[in-house]
Each structure stands twice: as structure tokens, then as C-alpha cells.
């Protein structure tokens, strides 16, 4: 379960302040997919980074599995973070490592024994349909395959929460639809809780049990099921955004 209360992020630059998140409150029950849609610059990536504590929120709380990440210090934060897998728009794989070595990288950091790492990588790669590409290098993979590796790596530590920042944004529409279906299957099989950020309304409606609409300045306009957003948009902004 992810719970975010009144989250604010202000970036201070030399001559100005950028308000990237303006009091975001949302809650994602365990085993649910929550999509966040917003245009470019709305604050989507900032939200993901603040949830993962890769960026420090200016105010507000992020609670994951009952632990308020904004209040705990290094050891407890590391422990909670292990439950979180993050997938970005570009998979950010290590080019010099094989697919299997990319997936098992987080396990190396956690000092998992080699045999266990290899077994886990094999298991995850078969989950994402890449059982036969374990020894390939990222440069030998398609964009869709690279993102599958990114998902497998995010799950390596048995993360039960995935934060996904436009992970399929750079893929062509057919591959994108394929990966959306696969993600749903994986989510159902593992019971993963997902916060999925995208600028694509169709993608948000396909994946999200709940969808939050974020307007420029990091302001939540409305949260609801796809049906609710379509049938009773809370503002002209939402109506226009969801079409």
C-alpha cells in the first residue's frame, strides 16, 4: 500500500522557484494499479522520484507499508526502498553486462549468493518472456525487450511495489500494447502494487484501476476510475484531457 499526503516539491533555482508538486494526495491499495496522467512538465517524474526518495520532497509524507519514508533514516529507508522497484522511460541497462547480469545487479548489491542470483535472474527472465536471451547484451535487444529487462531487474529484490515512469513511452504502439498486457499479467500473477505514470490517456485507462489527472504545477485535478473520469469529469481540464 502506498499513501501520499499533501506532497510538495519546489525546485529552487538561482533566479526562480519551480513548483513541481503542489499538495499531491493519493492512496494505492495493495495489489492495485494506479495510473497518473499529465502533460509534459506536469510533475510526473518528480512524483516518482519523490516516492522513491531519489529526490527529497519539500513537504508532505510518503508512506509505504506503514513506514513514513520522509521521517526515517538510512537503515530503515534502505529496508523500505528494497520493497520498491523503479522503471524509467529508458531502461538504463548496463551495456557491458549480459541481460542476466543486469537483472541480478540489485541482488549483487544485496550480497545475495551467486547461485541464488542466477536462479532468480532466470526465473524473472522467463516471467518477462526473455528466457532465451539471458546471455545477450542490451545492444542486441529491441526497445521492448530492454524494457522487459528493466521490469525484471526492478522485481529482482522481490519488490512488491513498482513505480513506473513512462516505461513504454519510447516504444512503437504495437509493442507498447503488448507490454501493457504483459505488465497486467505479471501484476496479477505476483500481486504487485503499481504506480504508473504516463502522458497517454489510453495507456492510463488500460492499466489503471484508478487514474489521477495531474495538471501543470503538480496539482491533482481528479482521481477516479476510468469510467468516473469519463462520465463525470471534475473540471473542464479533465474533460478535455480524457476526451
Chain residues that interact with Mg ion, rule: CB under 5 A: 44-45
Residues within window 41-70 making contact with ligand ADP, judged by CB under 6 A: 41-46
How far is residue 173's CA from residue 144's CA, in Å, rounded to a whole number? 11
State the DSSP code for 221.
E
Name the one range near ligand ADP by CB under 6 A: 36-44, 57-65, 152-160, 229-237. 36-44
From the CB of 14, what's the least distance to ligand ADP, in Å? 11
Instruction: Enumerate the β-bridge partners of residue 4.
Output: 26, 62
Residue 45 or 210 with smaller CB distance to Mg ion = 45
With respect to ligand ADP, which residue has the nearer C-beta, 25 or 31?
25
**Minimum Å distance from CB 45 to Mg ion?**
3
Residue 89 as a binder of ligand ADP (CB under 6 A): the answer is no
Residue in 2, 4, 7, 20 binding ligand ADP, rule: CB under 6 A: 20
Q: Under a CB-based contact definition with an 8 Å cutoff, are residues 1 and 27 in contact?
A: yes
Residue 60 — φ and ψ, nearest 5°? 100, 175
Nearest distance from residue 208's CB to Mg ion, in Å?
17
- Contact 34/53 with Cβ under 8 angstroms? no
Q: Which of 33, 35, 38, 157 binds ligand ADP (CB under 6 A)?
A: 38
Contact call for residues 61 and 4 (beta carbons, < 8 A): yes
**CA pair distance 227, 206, nearest whole angstrom:** 11
Closer to ligand ADP by CB, 45 or 145: give it.
Answer: 45
The DSSP-derived string for 124-138 is HHHHTT-GGGTT--G
**Rounded to an integer, what is the distance from CA 243 to the centroid of its chain?**
25
Least distance from C-beta 41 to ligand ADP, angstroms? Answer: 4
Q: Find the shortest distance in angstroms from Cβ 35 to Mg ion.
A: 14
Q: Residue 40: name its binding partner from ligand ADP, Mg ion, none (Cβ under 5 to 8 Å by kind).
A: ligand ADP
Asked if 220 contacts 214 with a C-beta cutoff of 8 angstroms, the reply is: yes
* Chain residues in the site for ligand ADP (CB under 6 A): 11, 13, 18, 20, 38, 40-46
Amino acid at each position: 500500500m502506498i499513501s501520499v499526503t499533501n506532497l510538495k516539491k519546489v525546485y529552487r533555482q538561482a533566479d526562480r522557484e519551480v513548483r513541481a508538486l503542489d499538495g499531491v494526495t493519493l492512496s494505492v491499495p495493495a495489489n492495485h494499479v494506479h495510473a497518473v496522467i499529465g502533460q509534459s512538465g506536469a510533475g510526473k517524474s518528480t512524483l516518482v522520484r519523490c516516492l522513491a526518495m531519489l529526490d527529497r520532497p519539500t513537504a508532505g509524507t510518503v508512506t509505504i507499508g506503514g513506514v513514513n519514508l520522509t521521517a526515517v533514516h538510512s537503515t530503515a529507508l534502505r529496508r523500505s526502498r528494497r520493497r520498491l522497484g523503479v522503471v524509467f522511460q529508458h531502461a538504463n541497462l548496463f551495456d557491458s553486462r549480459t541481460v542476466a547480469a543486469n537483472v541480478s545487479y540489485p541482488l549483487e548489491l544485496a550480497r545475495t549468493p551467486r547461485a541464488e542470483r542466477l536462479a532468480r535472474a532466470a526465473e524473472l527472465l522467463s516471467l518477462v518472456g526473455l528466457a532465451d536471451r539471458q546471455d545477450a547484451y542490451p545492444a542486441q535487444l529491441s526497445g521492448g525487450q530492454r524494457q522487459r529487462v528493466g521490469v525484471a531487474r526492478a522485481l529482482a529484490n522481490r519488490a512488491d511495489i513498482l513505480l513506473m515512469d513512462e516505461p513504454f513511452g519510447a516504444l512503437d504502439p504495437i509493442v507498447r500494447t503488448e507490454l501493457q498486457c504483459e505488465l497486467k499479467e505479471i501484476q496479477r500473477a505476483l500481486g504487485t502494487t503499481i504506480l504508473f505514470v504516463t502522458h497517454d490517456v489510453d495507456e492510463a485507462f488500460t492499466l489503471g484501476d484508478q487514474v489521477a489527472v495531474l495538471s501543470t504545477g503538480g496539482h491533482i485535478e481528479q482521481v477516479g476510475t476510468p469510467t468516473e473520469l469519463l462520465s463525470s469529469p471534475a473540471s473542464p481540464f479533465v474533460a478535455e484531457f480524457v476526451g
